[in-house]
């Protein structure tokens, strides 16, 4: 179920101006009802993506990043209550009839899901599944042309031995190959926007890098916008132009990628990067975990959702901590850098100790 969007969407952000803006999300909220309770999965999210831009959406499991991505695709459960505004290539997605939404999927926006083995049909050959995606938006399917397009797509995603792969079943391919097939299917109708939801979760480190490099190369070759959804800040660091960090259904920090890594302001963002292994980490060194757990959605109350886990709060005065507990901090902007924190970290990374280990 979807609510009508507001009459006057908010202004666009730093992603693009005028004709360069491809996706404009303003005040997006997604709620689910279960056993008489309302769970706020996403609340007040505003994002902009320009043509050809790569945006990273980062956060722990349960932060709302995948729900945001699925809201754009229009594949949330029918019981979801969607409010706000999502404009893709001039079309308002909130409240859009399913028939019109179906026409947009694959052409204007396409998505790569987390597990390619579960996304591919195990009883169908790869070639047939590619043909289905190619013909889905064709008024007069041409088998010969479609097969040529299938070969072209597999070559585009750097698949070896294309003819052999077209005849293969999903279980006969490696994890990396299956993900390349999913990328090929997503690109079948030349979408303007590609959403990759944790595209490397089930892959080993070497194959992860190959898939991420491939997505980055395809974005540049096809001048396609990319939204990369991941729990790993390091994954987004070298392959995005801008990063939005989500926690408890809200954006808590957003900035151009270079700015974010040179001047992290939100303690949660700092904790995320500190919990990732560094290039200079000694082998078998335990990772520093963020203490506690994310709040149960809908039960976090009117305070800073990260406060119970915040290492930075321990350095504040008692009166300052009371302010953190009294209200949800607004998303404040300093130029292109937005942060949801009443007492953010110092501008220079490293000047505030991250002693949460």
For the record, the structure tokens of 35 come out as 């056993």
pLDDT at res. 36: 79
For the record, the structure tokens of 213 come out as 């490099």
Return the bridge partners of 91, or none: 88
User: Which residue in the block uniquely carries the two structure tokens 């997503």?
Assistant: 186
Ordered domains of the chain (ranges, CATH): 18-121+192-207+220-251 (3.40.50.300)
pTM of the model: 0.88
User: Parallel, antiparallel, or unpaired: how do β-strands 193-197 and 109-112 relate?
Assistant: parallel
The 10s digit of each residue's pLDDT in 5-59 is 433 333 334 454 445 999 999 999 999 987 778 888 999 999 999 999 999 999 9
For the record, the structure tokens of 335 come out as 């130029």
pLDDT at res. 10: 35
pLDDT at res. 203: 82
Task: Give the 3-state secondary structure percentages of the chain, helix then strand then coil, rounded to 5.
Answer: 35, 20, 45
Cα–Cα distances (Å) from 41 to 62, 92, 250, 301, 357, in that order, read 8, 21, 9, 14, 28
Long-range contacts of 143-149 (CB under 8 A, 24+ apart): 149/188
Coil, strand, or helix at residue 9?
Answer: coil
pLDDT at res. 294: 85
CA–CA dist 293, 288 (Å, integer): 14
Give the DSSP letter of residue 79. Answer: T
Whether the Cβ atoms of residue 228 and residue 215 lie closer than 8 Å to each other: yes
The 10s digit of each residue's pLDDT in 195-225 is 999 998 878 888 989 999 999 999 999 999 9
Q: Low-confidence residues of the chain, pLDDT below 70?
A: 1-19, 278-281, 297-301, 347-357
pLDDT at res. 137: 80
User: Which residue in the block uniquely carries the two structure tokens 């969607």?
Assistant: 82
Whether the Cβ atoms of residue 57 and residue 23 lie closer than 8 Å to each other: no
């Amino acid at each position: 179920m979807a609510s009508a969007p507001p009459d006057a969407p908010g202004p666009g952000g730093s992603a693009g101006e005028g004709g360069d803006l491809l996706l404009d999300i303003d005040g997006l909220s997604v709620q689910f009802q279960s056993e008489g309770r309302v769970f706020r999965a996403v609340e007040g999210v505003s994002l902009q993506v320009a043509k050809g831009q790569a945006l990273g959406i980062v956060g722990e499991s349960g932060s709302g990043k995948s729900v945001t991505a699925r809201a754009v695709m229009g594949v949330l459960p029918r019981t979801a209550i969607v409010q706000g505004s999502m404009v893709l290539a001039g079309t308002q997605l909130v409240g859009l009839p399913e028939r019109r939404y179906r026409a947009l999927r694959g052409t204007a926006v396409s998505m790569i899901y987390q597990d390619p083995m579960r996304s591919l049909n195990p009883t169908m050959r790869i070639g047939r599944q590619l043909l289905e995606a190619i013909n889905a938006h064709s008024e007069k399917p041409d088998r010969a042309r479609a097969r040529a397009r299938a070969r072209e797509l597999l070559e585009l995603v750097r698949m070896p031995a294309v003819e052999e792969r077209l005849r293969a079943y999903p279980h006969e391919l490696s994890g990396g190959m299956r993900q390349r097939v999913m990328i090929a299917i997503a690109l079948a109708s030349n979408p303007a926007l590609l959403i990759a939801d944790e595209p490397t979760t089930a892959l080993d480190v070497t194959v992860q890098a190959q898939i991420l490099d491939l997505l980055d190369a395809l974005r540049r070759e096809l001048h396609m916008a990319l939204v990369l959804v991941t729990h790993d800040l390091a994954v987004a660091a070298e392959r995005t132009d801008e990063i939005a960090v989500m926690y408890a259904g809200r954006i808590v920090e957003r900035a151009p990628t270079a700015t974010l890594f040179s001047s992290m302001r939100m303690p949660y963002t700092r904790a995320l990067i500190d919990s990732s292994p560094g290039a200079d980490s000694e082998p078998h060194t335990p990772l520093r975990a963020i203490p506690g757990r994310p709040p149960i959605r809908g039960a976090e109350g009117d305070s800073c959702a990260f406060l119970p886990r915040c290492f930075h709060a321990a350095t504040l005065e008692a009166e300052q901590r009371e302010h953190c507990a009294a209200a949800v901090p607004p998303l404040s902007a300093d130029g292109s850098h937005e942060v949801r924190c009443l007492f953010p970290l110092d501008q220079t990374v490293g000047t505030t100790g991250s002693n949460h280990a």
